[in-house]
Amino acid sequence: MLRRRRHPALALTVPVAALIALGLAGCGEPHRPFGRDGEPGATLLVRPLTGVTVAVLPVEGMPRPLAAEVADVLADGFAAREVPARVAMTGALAGEPRLFGQVMNLVPDADSDTLLVDITLELREPGGRPLMIQTLRDRIPGALWSTAAADADQLRLAAERLAAPAVAGFASAEQALVPVPSGEHEGLSQKARPQAQSAALAALPAVALGDMTGAPGGAGNQVLSAAMRSVLREVGVPLALSEAPQAQVTAEVALAPVPGNAQERIRVVWRVLDAAGDEVGTVAQENLLPRGYAEQNWPDLAFLIAGAAVDGVVPLLQQMAARAAP
């Protein structure tokens, strides 16, 4: 077993709110269906697009004019990425994936007449399985928080500022569900993957999953370990099959209620250790969730968390491989 010796190491921070599609396969830098923190330029999957329409529901707890504008921004964002979508102010139809949200926190600022708004958006497939969760925050004019808001330009600007950062990730999450032809790898086609990049991942140190602590539920730690193992395997990272792994990945989960509202804060710290037990680096994830969500939905949430964390874990493994190269 690897022992742990702590020393200064590189720390990366990525959001918990992310997607894991088990069908994804990796390249030199692991292909993920969206960028961190809504960054532009996220790579889209190379495969046909689904004809299923995503129902974009209004955000609960938001005034109807602003909720309608936010739904419109999200639906337009899907359409711009060739994913069929419609604004569904009265609810989703049977068989439609749905994107819905809820206002989690609203803090007025009397000095500036603005409101700091936190909303949680969630994409679910038709069967109800969560695909992606993302928490968004922005400051909007207080005058827009009214059912009588009439300034269309201000409404649109506020909706775009609040919702646009989430569009690329949610659209790519939907694209990730599209099946590939029978017999092909469930992810990017093997033919589409540059051989040099695939070889780069194969040259990474063989990884074992170490201690997982703090996850909710009786078997929560084992579920998180299995999720990360699946994600590493699917992006192409070699897994250790012997008692002498070259690297180890561990995780610590912490859940804490947020005083004064119906939220809880989740924090996950992943650590990459080398064969000597030295800490190569960490990947920290933190987000706000509805209280009780993690406990009730941990199997699905564990894969969302692992899918986001792998974007930070793989570069640390690449650093190890570079240091070991002659």
Domain definitions of the chain by residue range: 10-30+187-324, 48-175
In this prediction, residue 45 carries a pLDDT of 27
278 against 187, higher pLDDT: 278
Residue 241 is predicted with a pLDDT of: 74
Of 47-61, 192-206, 297-311, the one with minimum mean pLDDT is: 192-206
pLDDT reported for residue 198: 56
* Three-state SS at 60: strand
Mean pLDDT value across the chain: 75
Mean pLDDT to the nearest integer, 291-298: 85
- With a pLDDT cut of 70, the percent of the chain lying above it is 73
Each residue of 242-265: pLDDT tens digit? 667 899 999 999 999 988 888 888
48-175 and 10-30+187-324 share a CATH fold: no
13 vs 231, higher pLDDT: 231
pLDDT of the residue at 134 = 80
Query: According to the model, what pLDDT value does residue 148 have?
Result: 74
Q: Taking residues 23-39, what's their average pLDDT?
A: 32
- What local confidence, expressed as pLDDT, does residue 71 receive? 95
The average pLDDT across 205-218 equals 92
Q: Which CATH architecture has domain 10-30+187-324?
A: 3-Layer(aba) Sandwich (3.40)
Confidence band (pLDDT; 50, 70, 90) for 157?
very high
* Domain 48-175 CATH class label: alpha beta
- For 264-295, b/e burial (b = at least 16 CB within 10 A) is bebebbbbbbbeeeebbbbbbbebbbbeebbe
In this prediction, residues 65-82 reach a mean pLDDT of 89
CB 149 within 8 A of CB 98: no
DSSP string, 88-146: -TT-PPTT--EEEEEEEEEEEETTTTEEEEEEEEEEE-TTS-EEEEEEEEEEEEGGGSS
Mean pLDDT, residues 195-210 taken together: 74
Higher pLDDT: 321 or 177? It is 321
Q: Determine which of 10-24, 64-78, 98-112, 180-194 has the lowest per-residue pLDDT on average.
A: 180-194
